[in-house]
Structure 1
Amino acid sequence: MNQQQKSKLGGRRAFMKNGTLILSAAAAAPATLLAADKPADKPAGVRVALVTDLHYADKPPGGSRHYRKTLGKLDEAAKQFEQEQPQMLVELGDLIDAADSVETESRYLQTINRPFSAICKDRHYVLGNHCVDTLKKEEFLGAVEQPKSYYSFDRGGFHFIVLDSCFRSDGQPYQRKNFKWTDANIPAAELEWLAADLKSNDKPTIVFAHQRLDVSNHHGVKNNAAVRQIFEDSGKVLAVFQGHSHRNELKEIGGIHYCTLVAMVEGGEQATNAYTLLDVQPDSTLKITGFRNQNSYLWEPQA
C-alpha cells in the first residue's frame, strides 16, 4: 500500500484477538454497557447484528449442513441480540437453501423470515446464490419487503452499502436455475452505481456482500479486482463483511478489511452455531464480537 492509500485510509491497522478471549471479556463487561461508558454528549456509534448462510430448508442434512437446525440456532441468536439491542440486522446471503419448485422455496423463505424479521425492524438482506436458485430476485425481495438488491444508506455518521453479485458473466441475473454458482459477477451498471455512490458520500463506509471480494477461487466474484479498485480509489471503505465460503477468514487488501463470517447452517448442534455483533464506534474502531464458532476481531484506527 502506497503513502497516498495510507493517508486516505487514515493508517488503519488490524488487531486480531481470539474469539474466546473477546467473549470472556464481554461476559465480564457486557457489550450493552459499551455505550454507557461514553459521555452522554458524544455519539454512540452503530451496533449491527450479522448472520450469514442460514440455508434454511425443511429437508434432511446434506453433509455438514443441517438445514432444519437453523431455526433453533436463529432462536439462540435472536435471544442474544435482544440483550445487545443492535440498531440493525444484516444477513449476508443464502437465507434459504435451494428447492425444486417455486412453491417449496417460497415456503422455506416464509418459514425462516418470520423469526428473522422479528429480531429487528431495521434489517437488510444480501442476495445469495441459494436465495435465487428457483425464485426470481423480485420474488425473494417482495417476500422480505426490500425494494432493491443493491443500495446504500446512512446510520450514525457511517455509510453502508449492500451489494448483489448474483449475476452471470453475461450480465443476466440469477433465477430459476439458470446459472452456475461459480459464475458470480457484479455487472457494469452496478459498478458504475458503486463508484458514483462512493464519490457522492463523505462518510466512512462499510460494505455487505455474499460472494467473496477477496479471493480468485470459485467462492470469489469473478471481477472482484475491479470492485476492490473502486473501494481503494474512494479512500472511504473501512471493511467488507461477506459469507459464502462458510468459514472464518480475514484478509487485508489495500488497507481494507475483508472479513468472511461462519455459516449458521454448519453442524447439527447448538455449539456449532455462529453469529456476530459489530460495533462501529465514532472514531471508526470496529469491534467484531463473534459467538460460538465465529471469531472476534478488533480493528482500531492508528493514532
Structure 2
Amino acid sequence: MPYVNPPLQRRVFLRNGTLVMAAASCGAAPLNATQLYGDETGDELRIGLVTDLHYADKPPGGSRHYRKTLGKLEEAGRQFESDNPAFIVELGDLIDAADSVATERRYLNTINREFSQLCDQRHYVLGNHCVDTLTKDEFLGSVGQPKSYYSFDQGDYHFVVLDSCFRSDGQPYQRKNFTWTDANIPAAELDWLAADLKATNKHVIVFAHQRLDLDNHYAVKNSAAVRKTLETAGNVLAVFQGHSHRNDLNEIGGIHYCTLVAMVEGATMENNGYSMMSLSPNGTIRLKGYREQQDRHLLKQ
C-alpha cells in the first residue's frame, strides 16, 4: 500500500481582508522542472481557469450575454499565452441549453474550436448546461475527453475532476431528463473518490461545477457526504468550482472552497472573468484574477 501523508494541520486567518489558509509549457509533452513550476520563481505550477461560458448563438437572457463569450475567451487566451500555464481547466457550462441536439452540437463545436487553441492539455468539468440536450458521451466525445470524472498527477499535486450531473436516483443528466437543482455525486463515484484520495501522498486540488460548500439549490444535494470524504482524506487543500456565477470563498473542515465568477455575465469586456492559479510545492495557492475575478491567496504551513 502506498504511503499516505497524515492529515495536514491548517490555520485560517485574514490578511488584508482576504481569507488565507496557513498550511510551463502549455502542451502535451512532459514538462521539465523549470517549465512545470514557472520560469520566474522556479517553484510554481501554473493552471488557467475559466468557468460558465454558456456560449450560445442566441440573444442575451437577462445579464447573460451568450455570444459575447467568444470575445471574452479570446482575451483570456491572450493572457494565458503570456502566463504559459501547464494546463487549463474549464469548470462547467461551456455551452448553454439548446432546443435540439444539432443546435447544441453547433454551440459546442464553435466554442471548443476556440477553447482548444488555448492549450494542448485541457480538462472539462461537466456542467448541467453541457448535457441539457446532449448525452455525456456526446459532449465528451466532441471535446476529446474519455471520462467525466477522473484524476491525474502533475508535479507535487494530485488533481481530481468530479461529475455531479446525476439525479438523486443515480441516472445521468441528458436530453432534458433532469431538474438542475437535483445534482448529486452517486455512490459509485463517491467510493471511487475515497479510494483515489487514499492512494496519493500529494497535495490535492479538486475541480467541480456544482457547489460543494452550500446546502441550497446551487449545491450538490449530498454535498455533506462529499465534504466528509474530502476531510477524511486529510490531503485536500482546496476545491475550485463554478455554477453560481459569483466570487465566493468558504473554509469548511480545513478545506477552501473557491467559487469563480462566470464569464457569460455582462455585455462588455470589463465584465469578463478568468484566472491563473499558481501552486507551490509546499502547498501555497495563489489565484490571480482578471477583470471580475477576485484574487485569492491560500497558504499552508
Match of 1:191 in 2: 190
Q: Give the Cα–Cα distance (whole angstroms) in 1 for the partners of residues 168 and 287 of structure 2.
A: 33
Q: Give the Cα–Cα distance (whole angstroms) in 2 for the partners of residues 131 and 16 of structure 1.
A: 37
Q: Give the Cα–Cα distance (whole angstroms) in 2 for the partners of residues 229 and 14 of structure 1.
A: 22
Match of 1:53 in 2: 52
Match of 2:206 in 1: 207
Q: Give the Cα–Cα distance (whole angstroms) in 2 for the partners of residues 70 and 52 of structure 1.
A: 11
Q: Return closer, same or farther for 1:209/1:16 CA change in 2, 3 Å cut-off.
A: farther
Please give the per-residue CA displacement for 1:116-164, whole angstroms capped at 9, x wherever unaligned. 0110111000000000000000000000000000000000110000000
| Shift in Å, 1:11 | 1.7
TM-score (norm 1): 0.89
Match of 1:225 in 2: 224
| Shift in Å, 1:202 | 1.0
TM-score (norm 2): 0.90
CA contact (8 A) 1:14 1:299 kept: no
Match of 2:80 in 1: 81
Specify the SS of the correspondent of 1:8: coil
Matches within 5 A, 1:285-300: 285-300=284-299
Identity in percent: 66
Please give the per-residue CA displacement for 1:41-64, whole angstroms capped at 9, x wherever unaligned. xxx331100000000000000000
Please give the per-residue CA displacement for 1:18-66, whole angstroms capped at 9, x wherever unaligned. 79xxxxxxxxxxxx9x944546xxxx33110000000000000000000
Q: Give the Cα–Cα distance (whole angstroms) in 1 for the partners of residues 276 and 59 of structure 2.
A: 30
Specify the SS of the correspondent of 1:131: helix
Q: Return closer, same or farther for 1:111/1:14 CA change in 2, 3 Å cut-off.
A: farther
Q: Give the Cα–Cα distance (whole angstroms) in 2 for the partners of residues 297 and 170 of structure 1.
A: 37
Match of 1:234 in 2: 233
| Shift in Å, 1:282 | 1.1
Specify the SS of the correspondent of 1:50: strand
Match of 1:68 in 2: 67
| Shift in Å, 1:10 | 2.7
Q: Give the Cα–Cα distance (whole angstroms) in 2 for the partners of residues 15 and 55 of structure 1.
A: 34
Unaligned 5+ runs, structure 2? 1-5, 19-34
Aligned length: 279
| Shift in Å, 1:9 | 2.3
Matches within 5 A, 1:26-175: 35-38=38-41, 44-175=43-174
Which shows bigger deviation, 239-248 or 7-16?
7-16
Q: Give the Cα–Cα distance (whole angstroms) in 2 for the partners of residues 206 and 159 of structure 1.
A: 6
Specify the SS of the correspondent of 2:49: strand
